[in-house]
A and B are shown apart, each in its own frame.
Chain A
Amino acid sequence: MTARDAILSRLGGTMTPSAIADEAAALLVAPERPPVAMTALEETFAERLALPSVAASYDRIADWSEVPEAVRRYCAANGLPVVLCLPPDPRLTALDWDGVTLHDGAAPDEDAALAIARCGVAETGSLVFETSPEAPMLPNFLALHHLVIVPTLVAHLEDAILPGAQPRAHYWVTGVSGTTDIEGTYVRGAHGPRFLHVIRLATPLKR
């Protein structure tokens, strides 16, 4: 008997598949969760970003064309060289990056990386990402400064779930790389980003 058969032979249930599906669905009805007012998505999201466990800085722009200027503004405010790891997303590569040195693969000691989140989550201040040929994952974990464009907001984590076939990785970023492993004291920038900067794009996304 294979290990698989040996394990499964001891785990038989008595319910039919449809009864199991019904019970599983019933367990998701009206879940307990922090309330988020749909009329206050922007405010709630901004408040969550300010929580000590997230501690993201926040900028607001009206249009994609303002992204390079928002990046230059952030770099200047933080005394950073205007050098950026940029994913090969046409929404970004089409922009005018005059005065910004770009490269598309993150160096091990990368200063700053820009990425586009699919959405932001007001409940937690999370930023939702999926991998694709235009959206590599590693730069978002290597860079010291993680800059993220947020085109849309949803209320709860459930609203951020991607239906259907999943990408290689679907991930939620809710702050920076932090650790409390030495005496429970919180330190930012354990392995990955020490700074998270959210650029809220307040116009609807056009592709």
Chain B
Amino acid sequence: MSGGFAERVDAALADPILKLAVERTAGTAEAKRTLAIDAFADFEAARDRAAAIKDHVIANLGGYLERFEANAVAAGAVVHWARTSQEACDIVIGLCKAAGAKSVARSKSMLGEEIGLPHALAEAGITRVETDLAEHIIQLSGERPSHIIWPAMHKTREQVSVLFKANHRDPHTEETIAAMAESARRHLREGMLAADVGICGANFLIADTGAVCTVTNEGNAELSLVPPRMQIVTAGIEKIVPSMGHAVHMLRMLARSATGAPLTQYTTFYTGPKRPGDRDGPEEMHIVLVDNGRTAMREDGLAEMLRCIRCGACMNHCVVFRQIGGHAYGGTYPGPMGAVLTPAIDGLAANRDLPNACTLNGKCQEVCPVRIPLPTLLRGWREKSWREGLEPKATRAGIGLWAWAARRPRLYRTATATALTALRLLGRTGWLSNVPLAGGWTRHRDLPKPAAESFMAQYKKGQRQ
């Protein structure tokens, strides 16, 4: 993940396999979601309700967190609080060390990626068994997730096959996706059953029961969390819902928006550690509530972003994401939601390109199950970047010049007419292949030859007729 955004995009666009891989998975997801939404008559009203539930929680977040904590503690869990990713990792590593853990089974969570947990575990010398199939693939390839639902969507089956053959004890012999999944099943099962600690995130935290909800299609969360002696949950503070009834509504929205299914295959609510007489389950359950910029987002006009339930629909439908894939975004979260979140989590100065990598076509907002106004939030970052003087000098000068001219209509029209004449002189055919100051465009494609007169000039003539 080296270089700036532009370099990463260049690399992504030059990769002939990447676009194919992204298109295969995102295309399938888009089609499946469409079918699921068409079959759900009141989906638009359901989106309103989902947004209202999240807004209600975000407005009253402090009270709900305290209630969740009290109920989780009453059920026997230990609740920890972390302001930053560093604090969160320190708590998790401290718990693992206190438990004498040599290996942890990890069920994929975006919050875990956000706080850098894989890295922290490696630094502490603790073996990490990634149990989600896609996370396992990218652990083997030493990469980061490129999508929040399908972290290995940038990998083709051929690439996965090579990785598994190089790393699995008893790899597949047949070149089918089913055989590859079977190879991973054999390989991962031992690691899951032998782990000392199971680590997961939370799709929802249920305030009135103190339960932690995970959803998976693979059942890897349950296999990672039931056998070990200790369970550790790392969850963003915005994951709260008031009750199970609210969780049910959000689950209906999440599954349909993510995979197009009415419900995820395995939906589990964990409340505290194992009870007297239970045959399985952990002796200890720890829940780490992580802020990492969320309270600041709530205060700084990004409260709507805290509605996000991490379904991935916005990126599956994003024309930019489908061209460049997830890695080019450079942060934990890619696509439209990532372009809003990454500047909030990692700072705007280093990520000011992300809000600009957007056509503002509004597709993300159209499919968002909790109606996050993503284009508006992206424009907010653009404005902030301008106000704080983060845009490059040439951009500022160019836009400044345009703004100066635009406030002087007569001058502006004269300049436009001159430019039109000049541009028409450049193009002998209908297309311009080389335009001064527009190399970024014409290096890759031609510019159409402009009309002889500007829109305003033609409009005025029309009015006089």
Q: How far is the CA of A181 from the CA of B49 in the complex (A)?
A: 31
* Cβ contacts under 8 Å, A136 to chain B: 278-280
* Cβ contacts under 8 Å, A3 to chain B: 81-83, 87, 291
* Cβ contacts under 8 Å, B421 to chain A: none
CB distance B262 to A184 under 8 Å? no
- Please classify the interface of chain A as helix (H, G, I), strand (E, B), loop, or mixed, using the class held by over half of its residues: loop
With most chain A CB atoms within 10 A of its CB, the pick from B160, B185, B266 is B266
- With A34-B262, A168-B270 in contact, do A13 and B209 touch (Cβ < 8 Å)? no
Which A residues are closer than 8 A to B by beta carbons?
2-4, 6-8, 10-13, 15, 17, 20, 23-24, 27-28, 31-35, 48, 51, 53, 88, 105, 108, 123-124, 126, 131-133, 136-138, 141-142, 156-158, 161, 166-185, 187, 189-193
CB distance A192 to B262 under 8 Å? no
B440 within 8 A of A: no
Contact of A7 among B134, B184, B295 (CB under 8 A): B295
- Beta-carbon nearest neighbor of B66 in chain A: A8
Number of interchain pairs (Cβ within 8 Å): 259
* Cβ contacts under 8 Å, B220 to chain A: 177, 190-191
Which B residues are closer than 8 A to A by beta carbons?
21, 24-25, 27-29, 39-43, 45-46, 49, 52-53, 56, 59-63, 65-66, 75, 81-83, 87, 131-134, 137, 150-153, 155-157, 160, 177-178, 180-182, 184-185, 188-190, 192-193, 209-211, 217-220, 222-223, 226-227, 237, 242-246, 248-249, 251-252, 259, 261-281, 289, 291, 295, 298-299
CB distance B60 to A181 under 8 Å? no
Q: List 12 A-B contacts (CB under 8 A).
A: A7-B81, A8-B65, A13-B63, A138-B222, A141-B266, A157-B251, A168-B272, A168-B275, A169-B271, A170-B269, A171-B268, A177-B265
- Beta-carbon nearest neighbor of A2 in chain B: B81
Contact of B223 among A48, A142, A183 (CB under 8 A): A142
* Cβ contacts under 8 Å, B237 to chain A: 7, 11
* Cβ contacts under 8 Å, A169 to chain B: 226, 268-271, 281
* Cβ contacts under 8 Å, A12 to chain B: 62
With most chain B CB atoms within 10 A of its CB, the pick from A3, A35, A124, A142 is A3
Contact of A170 among B49, B87, B271 (CB under 8 A): B271
* Cβ contacts under 8 Å, B271 to chain A: 166-170
Q: How far is the CA of A115 from the CA of B397 in the complex (A)?
A: 70
Contact of A13 among B62, B131, B182 (CB under 8 A): B62
CB distance A182 to B268 under 8 Å? no
* Cβ contacts under 8 Å, A166 to chain B: 75, 209-211, 269, 271
* Cβ contacts under 8 Å, B226 to chain A: 137-138, 141, 169
- With A3-B81, A4-B81, A189-B181 in contact, do A184 and B150 touch (Cβ < 8 Å)? yes
Separation in Å of the B83 CB from the closest CB of chain A?
5
With most chain A CB atoms within 10 A of its CB, the pick from B245, B251, B279 is B279
* Cβ contacts under 8 Å, A178 to chain B: 217-218, 265
Q: How far is the CA of A206 from the CA of B174 in the complex (A)?
A: 50
Q: How far is the CA of A193 from the CA of B185 in the complex (A)?
A: 11
Q: How far is the CA of A35 from the CA of B262 in the complex (A)?
A: 13
* Cβ contacts under 8 Å, A175 to chain B: 217, 265
Contact of B177 among A35, A105, A182, A191 (CB under 8 A): A182
CB distance A15 to B177 under 8 Å? no
- Beta-carbon nearest neighbor of A187 in chain B: B181
CB distance A15 to B29 under 8 Å? no
Separation in Å of the A92 CB from the closest CB of chain B?
14
Q: How far is the CA of A52 from the CA of B53 in the complex (A)?
A: 31
Separation in Å of the A110 CB from the closest CB of chain B?
11
- Beta-carbon nearest neighbor of B44 in chain A: A32
Q: How far is the CA of A105 from the CA of B280 in the complex (A)?
A: 10
CB distance B266 to A158 under 8 Å? no
Q: How far is the CA of A177 from the CA of B192 in the complex (A)?
A: 15
Separation in Å of the A6 CB from the closest CB of chain B?
6
- Beta-carbon nearest neighbor of A104 in chain B: B279
CB distance A7 to B291 under 8 Å? yes
- With A7-B83, A174-B265 in contact, do A15 and B211 touch (Cβ < 8 Å)? no
